[in-house]
Amino acid sequence: MTKLTVVDVTLRDGNHSIRQQFTPEIVAKVAAALDAAGVEIIEVGHGDGVGGSSIHVGRTPVPYQQLISAVVSSVKRAKVAIMLLPGFGTMDDLQQAYDLGVTVARVACHCTEADITEQHIQLARKLGMFTVGYLISFGMASPQRIVEEAKRMESYGAQYVNLAESQGYLVPSQVREYVYALRESVNIPVGFHGHNNLGLAIGNSLAAVEAGAAYVDGSLKGLGGGAGNTQTETLIAALKRGAFPTEVDLFGILDAAAVLTDELKKHPDLAKIPMPSVDNDAIMMGYACVYGGYILPIKRAAMEYGCDPRQLVIRLGERKVVATQEDVVIEEARRLAGIT
Amino acid sequence: MVKLPVAILGSGNIGTDLMYKVRRSALLELQLVAGIDPASEGLARARELGFETCTDGIEGVLRNGKIKLVFDATSARSHLAHAPRLKAANIFAVDLTPAAVGPGVIPVVNLQEYSTESNVNLISCGAQASVPIVAAINKISPVQYAETVSTISSRSAGPGTRQNIDEFTRTTARSVRDIGGAKESKSIIVINPAEPPIIMRNTIYAVVDLPVDEKKVRDSVMAMAEKIKCYVPGFKVTVEPFLDGDHFTVCNEVTGAGDFLASYAGNLDIITAAAINVAERYAETFWKGRQAAND
């Protein structure tokens, strides 16, 4: 079996769970613990990538450059990654991240729009970064379409294509189908990023690995959009139980999860924010295929406008919203509440 | 009034949509549709409607001799080559490419400032739909920071936008400051592939000095929306300005007129409609200028 690489996204996707409030102190401590556990790639930044800080999807307390520097200076072995979503982040952001010591660029787009990533993928390759094409919400398109989009990213120079199941909507048999389709048609490796809205993050990740995925994303304590991501420490334990090859140390990753919990507890505002869980809102989001990053905006809008969050989620699913349409959450909540 | 003789340079989607709009104009006379591809669908449509066409682009425009204004719907690179030649021939250029040779214009905000220019640029669809809102808020309370989010359907996002998406966010954000009046800005674009295609929508967030008179802001924004509707009938405020902490949030959507481009492509319609508006204002001043010279 091919070597399996675990990519930890706590310090990026996890930001969705805490309203983008990670501080340089927290990310430095967590990154050091992940590094010590043998995690090879650590992703950091705003939940929607570098350049994501905005009123629209949440402002970070410090510029992303400070988060990157904090992580770069606390790791010894791990490579530091950023996500970049063209339309938010620009090539300038990519260049700045590179200058700060980032060596992995994950260039992301909604799963049907790969042609907006060409310039960014090419720049990352030119800079000598390990370059990943990242297809968000891939369950919203057919396996055939995902193959076409992955081929585009491959042609631009992506070194692996990461399939992000951003809604926690697919079940293991479906995940397998996509990974098989890609393995048959593209020459670069495949990665998988799961969410737990239907309680299937670990199951889907194992299904992807069984189908030949060589990279798998996880997040400590499952921090991340919706019901959270595939929990890294659970993933490591499950991979070891299933005899899948991983070099990440189990005790080390459990320690890292404990470091994250302690750091969040120390922070007066963050200590109060509940950890992501498979709660009713998250289940509805998985069921209706709604992007995980909307979990807190949905909870907030439903409370503020007094509408049923389930109805709100169903409406968002019907409108086929993609990542970063947080404004539609407010628009629909106001509509349901009868306010224009 | 005698109509102003104009030409459309570029026979793609934008050029063809412009053709239908010029045809309806009481102030503009379409002299020529200039393309480069003899097999172009846009040129075929132009011929069907009885318009003169040529397949040597700018050369045909310069050969014509009567044309006073050109809509350039080619590409940024082509417009860079066209601009000096149009200027030398004393032809006013309404530039719909991202070339930005001339100053950016938003008809309802800053068109009057450029009555003596020979080349103006339409910036981006996001700018046309968002900058007026920022300007309307800024009139009531200085906007410290404005953020615009334009969501367009995948089908209406052309290859130019896709291949150079940074340019869209950069030029839009710049116009939010330079024309909208915000001190700082950020612009975001989101592409949604849903079928049937979604209508273009824009959200504008504006951080203002507090306290602020919310009613005045609302009235100013809604009055601006009425002005935009005069040339973009499908423009609609879907969430009226409301204060959320330190900022206002406003949402609008733009349904296209469906001239040639489908009605979901409000992003393309708002830019062609703005171009026609600029040309018509130019036509008015052009004849007034002539009259003054004769008096």
Residue A41 domain-assigned? yes
Evaluate whether B8 touches B259 at the Cβ level (below 8 Å). no
Q: What is the pLDDT of residue B72?
A: 98
Residue A274 domain-assigned? no
Shared domain check, A9 and A81: yes
Shared domain check, A324 and A190: no
Shared domain check, B91 and B197: no
Residues 141-180 (B) with a CB less than 8 A from some CB of A: 147, 149, 151, 154, 157, 159, 162-166, 169-170
Shared domain check, B244 and B181: yes
Among A267, A293, A316, where does a domain finish? A267
| 3 state SS of A188 | coil
Shared domain check, A284 and A235: no
Q: What is the pLDDT of residue B115?
A: 74
Shared domain check, B135 and B111: no
Containing structural domain, residue B64: 4-122+271-294
Distance to chain A for B71, nearest Cα, Å: 27
- B190 contacts in A (CB within 8 Å)? 87, 322-325
| 3 state SS of A132 | strand
CA A290, chain centre distance (Å)? 14
Shared domain check, A287 and A175: no
Shared domain check, A289 and A262: no
Shared domain check, A166 and A103: yes
Q: Give residue B138's identity as a one-letter amino acid code.
A: N
Residue A103 domain-assigned? yes
Active site residues of A: 16
Shared domain check, B49 and B18: yes
The CATH number of the domain holding residue A330 is 1.10.8.60
Q: Which residues contact B49 (CB under 8 A, 6 or more apart)?
A: B19, B23
Q: What is the pLDDT of residue A340?
A: 66
Shared domain check, A165 and A299: no
pLDDT tens-place string over residues A164-179: 999 999 999 999 999 9
Inter-chain contact A330–B186, Cβ cutoff 8 Å? Answer: no
Q: Which residues contact A79 (CB under 8 A, 6 or more apart)?
A: A40, A41, A42, A103, A104, A130
Tokens 């968000």, located at residue:
A136
Tokens 């307390």, located at residue:
A61
Lowest-confidence pick of A157-166, B218-227, B254-263: B254-263
Shared domain check, B144 and B115: no
Q: What is the pLDDT of residue B112?
A: 84
Shared domain check, A18 and A130: yes
Shared domain check, B244 and B188: yes
Residue B122: is its pLDDT beyond 90?
yes
Residues 268-327 (A) with a CB less than 8 A from some CB of B: 319-325, 327
Among A267, A289, A322, where does a domain finish? A267
Q: What is the pLDDT of residue B41?
A: 94
Shared domain check, B174 and B82: no
Report d(CA A243, CA A40) in Å as an integer. Answer: 19
Q: What are phi and psi of B36, to 5 degrees?
A: -125, -15
Q: What is the distance in angstroms between the CA of the first residue and the CA of the last residue of chain A? A: 57
Q: What is the pLDDT of residue B87?
A: 97
Tokens representing B243? 């204060």
- A116 contacts in B (CB within 8 Å)? 162, 165, 191
Shared domain check, B170 and B116: no
Residue B276: is its pLDDT beyond 70?
yes
Report d(CA A221, CA A234) in Å as an integer. Answer: 9
Shared domain check, B142 and B232: yes
Q: Give residue A98's identity as a one-letter amino acid code.
A: Y
| 3 state SS of B195 | coil
Residue A275 domain-assigned? no
pTM of the predicted model, to two decimals? 0.95
Shared domain check, A249 and A152: yes
Shared domain check, B251 and B129: yes
Q: What is the pLDDT of residue B295?
A: 63
Distance to chain B for A240, nearest Cα, Å: 39
Shared domain check, A286 and A208: no
- Cβ pairs A/B, distance under 8 A: 86
- B207 contacts in A (CB within 8 Å)? 55
- Strand-pair category, B119-121 with B92-95: parallel
The CATH number of the domain holding residue A122 is 3.20.20.70
> Which pLDDT band holds residue B288 (cuts at 50, 70, 90)?
confident
pLDDT tens-place string over residues B81-114: 999 999 999 999 999 998 999 999 999 999 888 8
Report d(CA A146, CA A210) in Å as an integer. Answer: 19
The CATH number of the domain holding residue B284 is 3.40.50.720
Residue A254 has, within 13 A of its CA and on its CB side, a CA count of 6
Report the percentage of chain B scoring pLDDT > 90: 90
Enumerate residue ranges in chain A where pLDDT < 70.
1-2, 340
Q: Give residue A285's identity as a one-letter amino acid code.
A: M
- B143 contacts in A (CB within 8 Å)? none
Q: HEC string of B205-268?
A: EEEECCCCCHHHHHHHHHHHHHHHHHHCCCEEEEEEEEEECCEEEEEEEECCCCCCCCCCCHHH
- B189 contacts in A (CB within 8 Å)? 87
pLDDT tens-place string over residues A183-235: 999 999 999 999 999 999 999 999 999 999 999 999 999 999 999 999 999 99
Residue A273 domain-assigned? no
Containing structural domain, residue A321: 280-336
Residues in chain B: 295
pLDDT tens-place string over residues B142-184: 999 999 999 999 999 988 889 889 999 999 999 999 999 999 9
Inter-chain contact A327–B149, Cβ cutoff 8 Å? Answer: yes
Is A55 within 8 Å of chain B by CB? yes
Tell me which chain A residue has its CA closest to the CA of residue B239.
A340
Domains in chain B, number = 2
Shared domain check, B255 and B129: yes
Domains in chain A, number = 2
Is A340 within 8 Å of chain B by CB? yes
| 3 state SS of B206 | strand
Residue whose C-alpha is closest to residue A87's, from B160, B169, B14: B169
Shared domain check, A83 and A9: yes
Shared domain check, B72 and B49: yes
Other beta carbons less than 10 A from residue A79's beta carbon? 18
* Residues facing residue A110 across a β-bridge: A136
Q: Which residues contact A90 (CB under 8 A, 6 or more apart)?
A: A51, B166, B169, B170
Evaluate whether A25 touches A70 at the Cβ level (below 8 Å). yes
Residue A231 domain-assigned? yes
Residue A171 domain-assigned? yes
Tokens representing A37? 């556990």
Q: What is the pLDDT of residue A105?
A: 98
ipTM of this complex: 0.95
Q: What is the pLDDT of residue A1?
A: 56
Q: Which helix (H) or strand (E) holds B151?
A: strand B143-153
Inter-chain contact B192–A340, Cβ cutoff 8 Å? Answer: no
pLDDT tens-place string over residues B32-73: 999 999 999 999 999 999 999 999 999 999 999 999 999 999
| 3 state SS of B166 | helix
The CATH number of the domain holding residue B242 is 3.30.360.10
Q: Which helix (H) or strand (E) holds A238?
A: helix A232-241
Q: What is the pLDDT of residue A119?
A: 96
Q: What is the pLDDT of residue B290?
A: 72
Residue A217 domain-assigned? yes
Q: What is the mean pLDDT of chain B?
A: 95
Shared domain check, A321 and A176: no
